[in-house]
Structure formats: structure tokens, C-alpha cells
Homo-oligomer: A and B are copies of this chain.
């Protein structure tokens, strides 16, 4: 399998993440890369014929129809992976449409967007599905360029993304909308920002680099998202009540609990 440099095909290679991985695999890793997209001369059949590795980087809405066409054509010795932000349904879809070909399948989620310069220090989730040989090759390539890979079950991945992505974006959007509604002077806000709030505003600002369609799907298609949002809004509403009631003792207890969690994060981050 690895007696020659494999050729990688990127389906959806004209999108922002597709382009990002094209550059990465060509320039940083030194692989041959073939691109196919809606209007390229290279078609799915060319990809299947010429590539040992096929990476599908298409909007999640188009994912099933692409895999439905691609999956049955895959060669048995080839490797199929994707770059979707959700993994449970996506890995199932890839497995289902490759039941005849029995090619290797792995789910990949790069935990960063196309605005990042390099993969160095960036996290990538890897969800094993069928086969292990290409999985080790793929993980090895990512790691060799400094990615922090983490192998995780697809369902567990989605459950975690409900917090990492869905709830995090939810908070940033609610904060952004609230600032907008209040109409507070932004210059004054920036000139009076604490280090903590300044960091928070920078995270909100990063949203301007992201794709609204992807962010909608992250909220609406992750089956675990609503649970996370529900727990958060319920705690926010409770805390608001505590503050309205001027219940200082309860507030301080709650503050100390979160401080304990903060200390755990600091400890674990050091490892």
C-alpha cells in the first residue's frame, strides 16, 4: 500500500477547507493532490481511478448525496475520509455506501477553520470506522506536521461538540446580539475592557471569519446540541434570579464551584 507516494483526491477541493487541505498536503506533506469540485474537469470517476486516498470536503447538506455516488465506486484498497464538523451520521453514511467496496473509512474533524496558518498545535479528531492501516498513516501525517490528534468514537465526538461548538457559538451570538441591541458605544467598550472581556470580544470577532451555513448546521444537526443549550440557558436564568434576589451567599457558593472547575482546567491543560 505504501510503496509509492499516494495520490490524494479532495472532493470539494475548491471550498475553503478543501483548498486549505490541498495546500497542506501538497506543500507541507509533499503528496500528490487531485481536486474535484462542481465545475472541475476532474470528475469523481477520475478521483476514484487515480487516488489511493479520498478526502470529502463538502457542505454537510451535500454530504450524503456525494457519498452515495462516491462510496460504491471506491476501490477496496483505498481510503475514504471526510472533514465534516459532525461525525456520527457522517461516519455511518460513509460505512453504508461502501459496504460493497469495503474500503477503509475514517471520520476526520479538523478542529479549526481555514483562517489558521498552519496545522501546528491545532487539534484534529479522528473517528475510526473500518480498517486501521490507513488510519495510522493518516494520523501519522497529521502528527508529523504538529497536529494534536485525538482518536474518539463518533458519537462521543458529537456529544463533545455540543459544548465545544454549538454552545460556544450560541453564547458568542447571544452576547453579540445583546451588545448590538443595547447600542453601547463600542469605542468606550474597548477602552474600558478588562483582559477577560477583551478576550471575549476577540472570540466574538473571530465569528466574522466563519461560514454562517456551517454554523447553522452545527447548531441544528447535532443531536446533542439542544441538551447543552438547555442546560446553559437554564443555569443563566437561575443565576439571573440569584442576582435579582441579591442572594449574595448563593452567588458566592456558585462562584467558588466554578473556580474549582477553573483550577481543574488549569491543572489538566498543564499536562
List of B residues within 8 angstroms of A101 by Cβ = none
| CB pair B204 A189 closer than 8 Å | no
How many residues of A are counted as interface, with CB atoms below 8 angstroms from the partner's CB atoms?
99
| CB pair A176 B258 closer than 8 Å | yes
Per-position contact with B for A192-206: 1 when CB-CB < 8 Å, else 0? 111111011111111
List of B residues within 8 angstroms of A182 by Cβ = 163, 227-228, 231
> Known contacts being A168-B197, A199-B199, A243-B226, is A258 close to B173, with CB within 8 Å?
yes
| CB pair A194 B176 closer than 8 Å | no
Q: How far is the CA of A45 from the CA of B161 in the complex (A)?
A: 60
User: Which A129-185 residues sit within 8 Å CB-CB of chain B?
Assistant: 148, 150, 152, 156-157, 159-161, 163-165, 167-182, 184-185
**Number of copies of this chain that the complex holds:** 2
Min C-beta distance of A193 to chain B, whole Å: 6
Residues of A within 8 A of B (CB): 111-112, 116, 122-123, 125, 148, 150, 152, 156-157, 159-161, 163-165, 167-182, 184-197, 199-208, 210, 212-213, 215-216, 219-220, 225-233, 235-237, 239-240, 243-244, 246, 248, 251-252, 254-266, 268-269
Min C-beta distance of A32 to chain B, whole Å: 30
